[in-house]
Structure 1
Amino acid sequence: MRRSLAGSSDLKEPCVLPPEKSLRIALVCLHTSPGADPGAGDAGGMNVVVRHQAEALAALGHDVSILTRRSADHQPASMQLAPGVTLEFLDAGPAVALAKGEHEQWIAEFSAQLAARPAWDIIHSHHWFSGMAALPVARRWGIPHVQSFHSIAADDSTPLSAGERAESAGRMPGEAWLARESDALVAISAAEATTITGRLGGAVQRTSVVLPGVDNAMFSPAVPAFLGDRAVPADGRGCVLVAARLQPLKGLDLAIAAVAAVPAGIRPDLVIAGAASADYDGYVDELRALAERVGVTDQLRLLGPQSRVDLAALFRGARLVLVPSHSETYGLVALEAAASGVPVIAAASGGLREAVIDGMTGLVLESREPLVWADTIASVLTDPQRARDLAAAAREHALRLDWARSAASLLAVYQGLLVRTTGGVPTEVP
Structure 2
Amino acid sequence: MIRRVAMLSAHTSPLAQPGHGDAGGMNVYVLELARQLARRDVAVEIFTRATSRHQPDVVETEPGILVRHVPAGPFEGLQKNDLPSQMCSFVRDVLRTEVEQGPQWFDVVHSHYWLSGQVGTVASERWSVPLVHTMHTMAKVKNALLADGDVAEPSGRIAGEEEIVRLADRLIANTADERDQLVELYEADPSLVEVVAPGVDLQVFRAGRREEARAALGLPPDAAVLLFAGRIQPLKAPDVVLHAAARLLADDPTLRDRLVVPVIGGESGTGMDRPGELARLTAELGLDDVVRLVPTLPQAELARWYAAASVVCVPSYNESFGLVAIEAQACGTPVVAARVGGLRTAVSDGVSGILVDGHDPADYAAALGPLLTDDALRDEMGAKAVVHAEGFGWDATAERTLAVYEAAIAARRMHGPP
TM over 0.5: yes
The superposition leaves residues 347-395 of structure 1 with CA deviations (integer Å, 9 ceiling, x where unpaired) of 1011100000001111111132111111211111121111111111111
In the alignment, is residue 418 of structure 1 matched against residue 412 of structure 2? no
Match of 2:254 among 265, 271, 279: 265
**Who is 1:77 aligned against?**
57
Q: Residue 225 of structure 2 contacts residue 372 of structure 2 at CA under 8 Å; is this kept in 1?
A: no
Residue identity opposite 2:276 in structure 1: D
For the 8 Å contact 1:37–1:305, the answer to whether it is kept is yes
Offset at residue 304 of structure 1 (A): 1.3
Please give the alpha-carbon distance, in whole angstroms, between the structure 1 residues aligned to 2:227 and 2:220. 19
> In the TM superposition, what whole-angstrom CA distance separates every residue of 1:260-293 from its partner, at most 9, and x where no partner exists?
1112322422111111136432534221222222
Write out per-residue CA displacement over residues 93-122 of structure 1, whole angstroms, 9 at most, x where no aligned residue. 111252111111111111111111124110
Superposition pairs of residues 103-122 of structure 1, within 5 angstroms: 103-118=83-98, 119-122=105-108
Distance 1:147 1:165, change over 3 A: farther
Structure 2 counterpart of 1:221, which letter? A
Instruction: Give the partner amino acid of 1:114.
Output: V
Q: Does 1:256 align with 2:236?
A: no
> Which structure 1 segments of 5+ residues have no match?
1-18, 425-430
Please point out which of 337, 342, 367 is paired with 2:358. 367
Q: What one-letter code is carried by the residue in structure 2 that aligns with 1:386? A: L
State the identity as a percent.
Answer: 33
Of stretches 382-391 and 160-169 in structure 1, the one that deviates more from structure 2 is: 160-169
1:385 aligns with 2:376: yes
1:212 to 198, 215, 232: 198
Spell out, residue by residue over 1:296-351, the C-alpha distance to the aligned partner (whole angstroms, 9 max, x if none).
12222111111111111111111111101000000000000011000100010111
Cα distance change on mapping 1:40 and 1:232 into 2, 3 Å: closer
For residue 329 of structure 2, give the secondary structure of its aligned residue in structure 1.
helix
Distance change in 2, residues 1:281/1:164 (3 Å) = closer
**Greater helix proportion:** 2
1:91 aligns with 2:80: no
* TM-score, with length taken from structure 2: 0.91
Residues 98 and 196 of structure 1, relative CA distance in 2, 3 Å threshold: same
Local SS of the residue matching 1:208:
strand
In structure 2, how many angstroms separate the alpha carbons of the residues matched to 1:408 and 1:159?
32
Question: Which residue is equivalent to 1:144?
Answer: 130
2-structure distance, mates of 1:328, 1:40: 17
Contact 1:222 1:317 in 2 (8 A): no
One-letter amino acid of the structure 1 residue matched with residue 186 of structure 2: L
Q: Which residue is 1:67 aligned to? A: 47
Q: Cα RMSD over matched residues?
A: 2.4
| Matched-pair contact (CA < 8 Å) for 1:70–1:96 | no
- CA contact 1:345–1:364 (8 Å) conserved in 2: yes
In the alignment, what sits opposite 2:102? none
Distance (Å, rounded) in 2 between the aligned partners of 1:273 and 1:331 = 15
| Distance (Å, rounded) in 1 between the aligned partners of 2:150 and 2:107 | 32
For residues 159-192 of structure 1, the C-alpha deviation after alignment (integer angstroms, 9 at most, x for no partner) is 6445986544510111111111111100111121
Partner residue of 2:34?
Answer: 54
- The question of whether the paired residues in 1 share the 8 Å contact of 2:109 and 2:123 is answered with no
For 1:186 and 1:38, the matched residues in 2 are separated by 22
Closer, same or farther: CA 188–133 of 1 in aligned 2, 3 Å: same
In structure 2, the residue corresponding to 1:415 is in which secondary structure? helix
**1:34 match:** 14
| Alignment pair present for 1:357 and 2:348 | yes
Deviation at 1:45, TM superposition (A): 0.5
Alpha-carbon distance in structure 2 between the residues aligned to 1:338 and 1:156: 25
Query: What is the match of residue 101 of structure 2?
Result: none
- Quote the residue 1:124 is aligned against: 110
Q: Distance in 1 between matches of 2:337 and 2:391?
A: 20
Q: 2:85 is paired with a residue of what secondary structure?
A: helix
Change (3 A) 1:296 1:159: same
Could you tell me whether the CA contact under 8 Å between 1:125 and 1:134 is conserved in 2? yes
Which amino acid is the alignment partner of residue 318 of structure 2?
Answer: S
Residues 165, 180 of structure 1: alpha-carbon distance in 2 compared, 3 angstrom cutoff: farther
Number of residue pairs aligned between Structure 1 and Structure 2: 403
Higher relative contact order (Cα pairs below 8 Å, separated by 6+ residues): 1
The one-letter code of the counterpart of 2:228 is: V
CA contact (8 A) 1:163 1:327 kept: no
Q: CA deviation at 1:402?
A: 0.9
SS in structure 2 of the partner of residue 281 of structure 1: helix
Does the C-alpha gap of structure 1 residues 223 and 312 become closer, same or farther in structure 2, counting only changes over 3 Å? closer
Paired residue secondary structure (1:170): helix
Show the counterpart of 1:5. Answer: none
Cα 1:225–1:208 change in 2 (3 A) is: farther
